[in-house]
A and B are shown apart, each in its own frame.
Chain A
Amino acid sequence: MSASAVFILDVKGKPLISRNYKGDVAMSEIEHFMPLLMQREEEGALAPLMSHGRVHFLWIKYSNLYLVATTLKNANASLVYSFLYKTVEVFSEYFKELEEESIRDNFVIVYELLDELMDFGFPQTTDSKILQEYITQQGNKLETGKSRVPPTVTNAVSWRSEGIKYKKNEVFIDVIESVNLLVNANGSVLLSEIVGTIKLKVFLSGMPELRLGLNDRVLFELTGLSGSKNKSVELEDVKFHQCVRLSRFDNDRTISFIPPDGDFELMSYRLSTQVKPLIWIESVIEKFSHSRVEIMVKAKGQFKKQSVANSVEISVPVPSDADSPRFKTSVGSAKYMPEKNVVIWSIKSFPGGKEYLMRAHFGLPSVEKEEVEGRPPIGVKFEIPYFTVSGIQVRYMKIIEKSGYQALPWVRYITQSGDYQLRTS
């Protein structure tokens, strides 16, 4: 992969900031970008890859920004997109919200980051932890005298600096499972999958060596632990952070690694075993033309009674010309969001096995508007703490460092909604 230049454009296509890495593409080429985008959109042939003359534009859209990479080469598209997303990630870590305003306010840091992220069109250091050592948040503070040389500048393990020190050595392990669900209008489940991630927050001194034990079925079978007592989980598509020694995992399923400092995602996995949808929705949306819409939504918690789903948000679509909303809910509160054309029904805590009801009534204008509307689905957001759908468990986390300190691992489990949609008829 090699990018000739990277541009950040506002929503109208005006360059906010750009960096010419290679100098083989005229910077004015970007002027073709927006007209091209509009033209493609009109033709219904918009794609994240467009060309003008010799130049290829690979672009992503993020909030109200376009990030565009130009290249002359027959490059590797996935890698370019990954790089652009990485850029977004890095920027977001520096100024929380990445949008037009924050780019304008922080153009000095943006320039500095663009300088370190890529050189001559090739990605260089993209790890935000390490970048933060080069480029400090307080860009405005004056560094006097000789500045400290970041240790990673001369380091062998690229993801961790030497000489990290903490008073209290701790590791926080978050096991997060997201449920993706797609249900047809007739109530049949089209797609149900669990995407799990294990995230670590590492506050450990020195160069610690970590080993993580899971109730992995393959491991249990290897070690003969697969008795009736130990429940195990079969993981699919396991992917690890770069720090994990893949060869060891392939040999004996041991997950061993030297972690980066701070937050990072250690691994992800997928399970396509069909599970009962955790929150089931039944809905009746009756539309009486020229007069009213009546909506009835029933939500049922189909998980263990001991567990509780928190911050449940059910968004139900309503026609864009609806007015004068009235709601009745058996629990929680409903709110009309005219800008999104939905009713949001929020329930703070939703115990398993319970069933709740919401009714909504809207007026419709007597003059119908002309354009046809699509049929947006009902979306559900929720979080169930202390619970994993797959039943995955952290059995142990061993931490060994040559100075021999004691470190505490903390584990937290949570299940949340991913892309959770139920189509409406």
Chain B
Amino acid sequence: MPYLGSEDEVKELKKALCNPHIQADRLRYRNVIQRVIRHMTQGSDMSGVFMEMVKASATIDIVQKKLVYLYMCTYAPLKPDLALLAINTLCKDCSDPNPMVRGLALRSMCSLRLPGVQEYIQQPVLNGLHDKASYVRRVAVLGCAKMHTLHGDSEVDGALVNELYSLLRDQDPIVVVNCLRSLEEILKQEGGVVINKPIAHHLLNRMSKLDQWGQAEVLNFLLRYQPRSEEELFDILNLLDSFLKSSSPGVVMGATKLFLILAKNFPHVQTDVLMQVKGTLLAACSSESRELCFAALCHVRQVLHSLPGHFSSHYKKFFCSYSEPHYIKLQKVEVLCELVNDENVQQVLEELRGYCTDVSADFAQAAIFAIGSIARTYTDQCVQILTELLGLRQEHITTVVVQTFRDLVWLCPQCTEAVCQALPGCEESIQDSEGKQALIWLLGVHGKRIPNAPYVLEDFVENVKSETFPAVKMELLTALLRLFLSRPAECQDMLGRLLYYCIEEEKDMAVRDRGLFYYRLLLAGIDEVKRILRSPQSDPSLRLLEDQAERPVNSWASDFNTLVPVYGKARWATISKCQRVERHGPELPNTASFATSGPLIPEENKERVQELPDSRALMLVPNHQLTAECFEKTWLSLKVAHQQVFPWQGAVHPDTLQMALQVVNIQTIAMNRAGAQPWKAYLSAQDDTGCLFLTELLLEPENLQMQISVKQNKARTETLNSFISVLETVIGTIGDIKS
């Protein structure tokens, strides 16, 4: 009844629910309840009839029960007192003869998310673990995890954990997998469920009985298991071989990851595995589900980083089809440019050329950039195609082609001649900032070979007043000055005009300063200008535009089959950074102290950590060795010089941490095993002045923080701060890798 306000509606439903006649007629009763749920689904507040709904739960109609329980789970947090009343009915249902009812009641009870409900659910959950129906056991096992989450930060119930470990041997496959999931949640603070040899082997043997979700889950947990011997390792790989051919893409990806990680010391095995899953990945790339196809393409790109030729013979699989969504087409174009080789280059370029005239400007531009990156290897063919594209005189095409040319001339100087011939006429169809900058740059640097270069630049100078992009003006200044050096007669006059404009009339300070700078430079004499502007043009140290080198499989294996490749590594880095700030920012009162403890170094950048000691006063001695006894003696004799907490999440991987610390010349004296709690580590380092830094790391299981205490044998605040910021960077990096 849409004409009734929500309040009237609640009143009316309340009346209906209380009406004994309706209660007597099951069908009508259920209909009223359905109406309540419908309103709830539509987002109206139905918490007003909570009491009546609780009463309605006492029924033998299982559908009605489900609806009422659903209602209760939704509104329980709003009506905690009333919800406790429902517990009675729920408890009673937990011992119903029908396993469906028992399961339902138990599941609902655990999902109530009420403070104080734990004491009521504990017993039913424990009973449920031993229920004879697997349906109830499945629910009860996950109920343990829910119970733990409800407790919040409470201590782990050892008996319950043992119970769950023993239920890993349950005969129902879903119970087994749920046990793993539940233990993982409960033991989150201690590094999750422990997979030792008996458990690992037990799980391996049960694999074929599990459904695809279970298989994928178990494969993920097995990542944690480290086989004791090479023999065992290969036995496991053999056992899992068939899962590389599973019909579920999730399982195939999971199995691939496990193989890559387990075989991290056997590159040929890794290559072999990637060969084996090639077919499956390819099939997933033409999957009917676009999203699965997208995820597969992202992973194909990942694989191509390490094995560039891997998919080359199947390049046609990556040709775009008309109706595919944008995100798939863009991925496919990226893949295509990575698998180009001598045999397929002709066909791939032919195909890409077709995309360049696509109706979607974004896609067309992506295709042109792709041709540009192929041009680094197959220059002549690509430059020819790009030149032909200029003939179309389409704004969005020309601008991207010119940008591609700019990058290309830098990387492949041999194509300069061809590019210079193609340029005249482009200026007419370029409107955007990026394109103009690229064109002006080209005219400036290679203007010698382009007859009409000064006249094109002159047009820009004429219109500089109406130019909206400061970056274009900056580029124009530089280019014109460069061209002036090679063709002074044609440029002198307009250079003067441009400088005059920039200095006298320009409002953008950067442009004005650049103009002044060049003006003063010119005052210093033409030889000086030449010396400065004509330094080597193609500096090999400027490798920003060049392809990144092949990456070893191990560098991305741990990211395989997560969201990282699907987002793209760069995007993932920004996302996880934002998330960290959000997670820790408001909670930590001492965030401000981070800023004062030294300039923050991008935490993702591990290489930078290495340079760090040189970049400041602190120099840690590389081969500093301190015995444990000596450390203990010194530690006890000193006072704590500095104490601080760093954000941290999840468990510690001592090996990784130790390695990272070693990189920055910090020695690890002693360290707890992973999973110990509280987890502690003692570190030592010495700088070139002989000052010792002794450090204790302490990780309390319930905090998301790593507490550090540093002691120093000479009191020097400056080096202490530097040391702490080094430590912070390392810990930040490690924490980052793991999150």
Contact = CB atoms under 8 A, between A and B. Distances in A.
Given A182-B321, A236-B279, A85 B327 contact: no
Contacts of A147: 62, 98, 100
Nearest to A249: B242
B446 interface: no
Contact of B245 (A47, A154, A239): A239
A406 to B, nearest CB: 30
Q: Interface size bucket, A side?
A: 35 or more
Contacts of B241: 250
B291 A81 contact: yes
Contacts of A375: 322
B285 to A, nearest CB: 12
A120 B582 CA distance: 25
A143 B246 CA distance: 40
A376 B142 contact: no
Interface in B527-552: none
Given A82-B250, A111-B70, A122-B213, A190 B100 contact: no
B575 interface: yes
Interface stretch (B292-300, B368-376, B606-614, B711-719): B292-300
Ordered nearest first, which 10 A-B pairs have the shortest CB separation? A79-B250, A239-B247, A123-B213, A246-B242, A44-B362, A48-B291, A153-B135, A374-B359, A81-B291, A237-B279
A161 interface: no
Contacts of A64: none
Nearest to A375: B322
A146 B98 contact: yes
Contact of A78 (B60, B113, B295, B325): B295
Interface in B88-138: 97-100, 104, 107, 111, 113, 132-135, 138
Nearest to A121: B181
B422 interface: no
Given A49-B563, A78-B561, A112 B247 contact: no
Interface of A: 1-2, 15-17, 22-24, 44-49, 51, 53-54, 56, 58-60, 74-79, 81-85, 107-108, 111-112, 115, 119-120, 122-127, 134, 139, 142-147, 149-150, 153-156, 158, 180, 182, 185, 190-191, 236-242, 245-247, 250, 268, 270, 372-377, 419, 421, 423
Contact of A17 (B41, B98, B291, B564): B41
A47 B41 contact: no
A246 B208 contact: yes
Most buried by B among A46, A49, A270: A49
Given A46-B327, A123-B213, A142 B61 contact: yes
A24 B150 CA distance: 11
A182 B317 CA distance: 10
Interface in B565-588: 566-567, 575, 578-579, 582-583
Interface in B243-300: 245-250, 253-254, 279-280, 283-284, 286, 289-292, 294-296
Given A46-B327, A126-B213, A153-B100, A54 B579 contact: yes
Which residue of A145, A180, A242, A246 has the most chain B CB atoms within 10 A of its CB atom? A242
B295 A77 contact: yes
Nearest to A88: B289
Given A51-B575, A421-B322, 18 more contacts: A1-B217, A46-B326, A54-B582, A74-B564, A82-B212, A115-B107, A126-B211, A147-B62, A149-B98, A155-B134, A180-B286, A182-B316, A237-B280, A237-B283, A239-B245, A373-B359, A374-B322, A377-B321
Contacts of A17: 41
A156 B172 contact: yes
Contact of A56 (B98, B360, B563): B563
B66 interface: yes
Contact of B220 (A51, A76, A146, A268): A76
Contacts of B294: 47-48
Interface in B207-222: 208-209, 211-213, 216-217, 220
A40 B64 CA distance: 42
Given A153-B99, A153-B135, A374-B322, A75 B250 contact: no
Contacts of B62: 143, 147
Contacts of B212: 82, 242
